[in-house]
Structure 1
Amino acid sequence: MQQQFRAPADADGLRRAFGAFPSGVVAVCAEIDGAPVGLAVSSFVPVSLDPPLVSFCVQLGSATWPVLRSSGKLGLSLLGTEQRAAARSLGTRAGDRFQGVTVHRGEAGAVFVDGSAAWIEGTLETVVPAGDHEVALVRIERIATEDGAEPLIFHGSRFRQLLTEPV
């Protein structure tokens, strides 16, 4: 069946189209004035092996991102399938985002969510304006992975798991 294309007339149409593409869920966290601060993003993209860089996007209206931008180090936790509650909590606009979320600290202020599939510690290299978002480019300084951990997937406005094919 051939689809009829139309201009992206509104944000709802764009959200439906963008929601057709699955993405991982990443917690971006740092310690600010002795307390963890963080948010969840689903726009994480590996960028370069040399130098080691990753990127993610943050909406301009975020009240948390300007605080995180001031941090010396950022902790990026690539959330796993067992961390749906942490993703929801870190994605909320109000209340304690870290309620029920166990974290550990890295170097110079980076904060990581325990139980993640992978952790990346880095510094903010640059920020590029992009419409109603900013693209953050982070230089990777240290990494760790959890063997066998499955990533948490966001698709169609829902959390999902990957289907593993038999070997």
Structure 2
Amino acid sequence: MWSLFERSPDLRMESSQAVQLESKINELIFISNYLCQTLDGVPPNDLAKYVTNNIEEKGKKKFRKELRVLGISHEEIDEWFAFADFSLKHLSRKLILKSVKASIRRAGDYLLRYKELAIQIDQAPRKDQLQQAVKLKNEIDKLEIDDTNLSLGLWEIHQVPRWDFDGSVGGS
């Protein structure tokens, strides 16, 4: 979508709107995939495994001291511990397959609308397609709030904290 906007003189100045729409479409796909993968519970990720295993082995107090020696802030440690608790609580949460399928069908309708809009812009770009793109993005926002499964998936995904306990990500 972004490249379609960029190629059109009428839409180029608003290509950031296309990027936002692309982001929402990617998010819908990601959430739908996540829901399929977590129908029978949320498997712990590497951080949850790392924290829970160390807490079980060493206890919270000792493990917290080790993390502080590694330079992890109190706030980040609290986030990690809270996430480990969250992960344990959601190991066995179940979703209803029929309900998830309905949510994915609804999300699929928006993916089809996105595709149709992209085809229209590719064939004959017009200024009014900007409003269509913005409207579609806003409707996806609403869907993610109103649809119980999509909302839950998005919320669960956002519970995962940023983590880099050995300093191998980012920096110089």
Which structure is larger by alpha-carbon Rg, 1 or 2?
Answer: 2
* Richer in helix (by share): 2
Whichever structure has more strand as a proportion of its residues is 1
TM-score by length of 1: 0.23
Q: TM-score, normalised by structure 2?
A: 0.22
| Higher relative contact order structure (alpha carbons within 8 Å, sequence separation ≥ 6) | 2
